[in-house]
Structure 1
Amino acid sequence: MITPCPAITTEDVAVPWTLPSRPSRRSLLAGAAGAAGAALLTGCSDDRPAGGEPRIPLERRMRETAVRDSARLLERYDATAAAHPALAARLAPLRAAVAAHSAALALTPAGSPSPSASPSAGTGAAAPAATGEPVPPKPAEALTALADAERSLSEARTIDLAGAPGELARMLASVAACGAVHAYLLTSTPGATS
């Protein structure tokens, strides 16, 4: 048979009570150094979220989107020139500028091409328009449609400036300005004086 334990009261046990001491400077510095080291080690991770998929940096995502948009615009230029061969000479310098913009946007800050950069960008190879929009049958309407595409992309890039990192923001501003000029040139009468 088990005998019950006698009840112990606080009168039976002497518990000294003292104020907790303040941490020493040495322990505070050691704790701060440990926290800083942990933060540095966390910053050296492989930039993968919990799901295991790598995060793509903002600048790279923005560049890839800009390159894709420029590729679509190049396809529109190619489709317009193919549908209206008489406009090809007028469109050639503007198309070349769009190809140059695409190539410049495809370069990462270190100068190497981004992984999604199209190797055929800027080669001048004709491709069907992937936008699904047919080229208008009249040359003037085709130029207006191309100008609308330039203007729309220029406006979108101007909006993207707010979230773009420094160097990319400057490049997007320049390319957006060129797009606005292209839209004007596409709808102005060549050789006309104002």
Structure 2
Amino acid sequence: MPWTLPSSPSRRSLLAGAAGVAGAALLTGCSDDRPAAGESVIPLERRMREAAVRDSARLLERYDATAAAHPALAGRLAPLRAAVAAHSAALAPAPAGSPSPSASRSGGTGAAAPAPGGEPVSPKPAEALTALADAERSLSEARTIDLAGAPGELARLLASVAACGAVHAYLLTSTPGATS
């Protein structure tokens, strides 16, 4: 017996369709992604960039504290610090009506002896360099982890900055002028 299309939908199919539409409307209505009154939406990339700039600023403070505690290391630290400042500038989000964080705000006053977080810089230069290398390594690893959630262009920038941080960690713990 050939199958034929019914001339009008059955009451059962109409009720099932209406229930499906109502269920879908309820499900989409449950997740209200709109911001509350007075609350603003900050795009993911901007939040990631602002966090990266804050991290770079803390690292710059650590460089400044180490150079202040060990003036003899200032020349060795200067190019690495300049690179971190350049990273901060490159990571800064584009201005959107409000001033963006700047690498120059945390710049070298040379007056701070404690590192960020109140942790004092070691009085031994080798230990101070090791602590700075650990900070570079830790930030490099954190940026590598952040790659997974970053939008394309920011992910490429974070990868580059993370690689540079790993090189800084190596340079800080290697003996200058020594050959392997």
TM-score, normalised on structure 1?
0.69
Contact in 2 for aligned 1:150/1:179 (Cα 8 Å)? yes
TM-aligned CA deviation for residue 131 of structure 1: 2.2
Q: Pick which of 31-40 and 49-58 moved more.
A: 31-40
Distance in 2, matches of 1:123 and 1:44, equals 52
Contact in 1 for aligned 2:144/2:159 (Cα 8 Å)? yes
Contact in 2 for aligned 1:154/1:179 (Cα 8 Å)? yes
Q: Would you say how many aligned residue pairs link Structure 1 and Structure 2?
A: 180
Aligned position for 1:88: 74
Contiguous gaps of at least 5 residues in structure 2: none
1:55-112: per-residue Cα shift (whole Å, max 9, x none)? 1110000000000000000000000000000000000000000000000001439999
TM-score, normalised on structure 2?
0.74
TM-aligned CA deviation for residue 126 of structure 1: 6.8
Q: Indicate the structure (1 or 2) with the bigger Cα radius of gyration.
A: 1
SS of 1:119's equivalent in the other structure is helix
1:126-151: per-residue Cα shift (whole Å, max 9, x none)? 79633221101100000000000000
Distance in 1, matches of 2:9 and 2:111, equals 72
TM-aligned CA deviation for residue 163 of structure 1: 0.1
Distance in 1, matches of 2:46 and 2:15, equals 39
Q: Pick which of 38-47 and 139-148 moved more.
A: 38-47
Q: Pick which of 19-28 and 51-60 moved more.
A: 19-28
CA gap of 1:60–1:27, structure 2 versus 1, over 3 A, is farther
Contact in 2 for aligned 1:150/1:183 (Cα 8 Å)? yes
